[in-house]
Amino acid sequence: MRWRGERESDNVEDQRGMSGGGKVAIGGGIGAIIVLVLGLLTGKDLSSLLPFLQGDQAATEQTNGPRQPRPDDSTAQFVSVVLASTEDVWTELFTANGEQYQKPKLRIFETSTQSACGGASSAMGPFYCPADQRVYIDLSFCDELRTKFRAPGNFAVAYVVAHEVGHHVQNLMGISEQVQRQRARLSEADYNKLSVKLELQADFLAGVWAYHANRTRRLIEPGDLEAALTAANAIGDDKLQKEAQGYIVPDAFTHGTSQQRMYWFKKGFETGDLSQGKFQDIR
């Protein structure tokens, strides 16, 4: 994917280096006041603690100082460019339909974080939380795409980001809420079928983004479609179940088979037509 020199999004929250969404340290004047108050209450001289608090303050100031470059900075920039491209495409498509597109935030985290949908870890992989309209991604997943899932190429990462933004589009369109409303009255197997349709439509919407991004900015390079399809194939339910347990349980599918995921992304990529991927037509 051609991305160098393209616009980066203003809606990226970079929390790399923070544990669980941030750290709080007490130091400096506040720490000294606490020591003073404790000394008055206990009648003891606690001034010996001040050097430790000052050390904490220095560490905090160092942490908050200029951030040193990281090996994954290029990946973070790429993800930001992809998000910016989805903003441009979906703003245009929503406007063409008389609607206003609300841009999601994208939070880059490391190891773990907190979302409005609950706690999350890097083991969960990228996800979208409708409660706070944020996409969450630990950039280590981008390395896993290449190593664990054998899906190299930066467009494989772009496909994953665009898929999660696809869930945001579904949220804005009210599709996610309609599916969620049916959860209480359906069996697990029947609800899983709706979940599969939701995921496959998100794949289709990712393909729609790619079609229009290429139409307006010529971002797609030879091999990009194959990279996305390789990623879609690698994370199909049937393939993942087969590798994990040696057999397949269709009733437990939540994202669709490899063939389905490739089909719907490619359909969006080739047509760019939202009417070709209506929820009731996904199967």
Which residue type sits at 261? R
Report the b/e string of 210-235 with b at 16+ CB within 10 A: bbbbbeeeebbeeebbebbbbbbbbb
Main-chain phi, psi angles of 182, to 5 degrees:
-90, -5
**140-154 tens-digit pLDDT:** 999 999 999 999 999
Separation CA 62–CA 208 (nearest Å): 44
Contact by Cβ (8 Å): 89, 212: yes
pLDDT at position 98 is 96
Q: Can you give the pTM of this predicted structure?
A: 0.82
What dihedral angle (degrees, nearest 10) is formed by the CA atoms of 11, 13, 207, 282? -100
pLDDT at position 31 is 46
pLDDT at position 25 is 33
Contact by Cβ (8 Å): 270, 213: no
Residue 156 CA: distances (Å) to CA of 45, 95, 141, 142, 197: 61, 28, 11, 8, 21
pLDDT at position 58 is 39
pLDDT at position 64 is 52
> DSSP letter string over 75-119?
HHHHHHHHHHHHHHHHHHHHHHTT----PPEEEEEBSEEEETTEE
Residue ranges of the alpha helices (H) in 218-255? 224-234, 237-245
Task: Enter the tokens of residue 169.
Answer: 């589009």
Rg (CA), the chain: 23
Per-residue pLDDT of the chain (283 residues; tens, 9 = 90+): 999 999 999 999 999 987 554 433 333 444 444 444 445 444 555 444 444 444 444 334 334 555 566 767 999 999 999 999 999 999 999 999 999 999 999 999 999 999 999 998 999 999 999 999 999 999 999 999 999 999 999 999 999 999 999 999 999 999 999 999 999 899 999 999 999 999 999 999 999 999 999 999 899 999 999 999 999 999 999 999 999 999 999 999 999 999 999 999 999 999 999 999 999 999 9
pLDDT at position 65 is 52
Separation CA 199–CA 261 (nearest Å): 8
Structural domain boundaries of the chain?
A: 28-63, 70-281
pLDDT at position 18 is 74
Task: Enter the tokens of residue 12.
Answer: 């990226």
